[in-house]
Amino acid sequence: MAKNQRWELRLYVAGQTPKSVLALKNITRYCRENLEGKYSIEVIDLLVRPQLAEGDQIFAIPTLVRKIPEPIRKIIGDLSNEERVLVGLNIRPVSPKIKA
């Protein structure tokens, strides 16, 4: 993957439900740890903007959509399993050992 690859993520939620709050907390942490400075997370509350659900084919809440890099990937759920999320988004984890 190119070094200057940017990551654009979208998190679809429906109000401040525990699942959504947890999902946002989780993905923010994963990104901070593994994609420092190379990511943006846009949170879309479908209760406020329901018209956006159709475009990204959202059926489950919460849903994380990787818009860039392509192809589009989706992860549904509260994102509590870090490994699955990183594999699903195809993010190479930054090993804590190397970091140190």
Give the residues lining the site for another protein (CB under 8 A). 12, 14, 19, 22-23, 26, 46-47, 50-51, 53-54, 57-63, 71-81, 84-85, 87-88
Name the minimum Å distance from CB 20 to another protein: 9
Output 6 or 84, the one with its CB closest to another protein. 84
CA distances from 45 to 16, 17, 31, 35, 61 (A): 9, 11, 20, 24, 10
As to burial, measured by CB atoms within 10 angstroms (0-12 exposed, 13-18 middle, 19+ buried), residue 69 is: middle
Output 19 or 41, the one with its CB closest to another protein. 19
Name the minimum Å distance from CB 64 to another protein: 9
Please report, to the nearest 10 degrees, the dihedral formed by the alpha carbons of residues 88, 91, 95, 99 taken in order. Answer: -150
- Beta bridge partners, 40, equal 8
Output 5 or 81, the one with its CB closest to another protein. 81
Name the minimum Å distance from CB 38 to another protein: 21
Please report, to the nearest 10 degrees, the dihedral formed by the alpha carbons of residues 83, 95, 7, 80 taken in order. Answer: 30
Name the minimum Å distance from CB 1 to another protein: 18
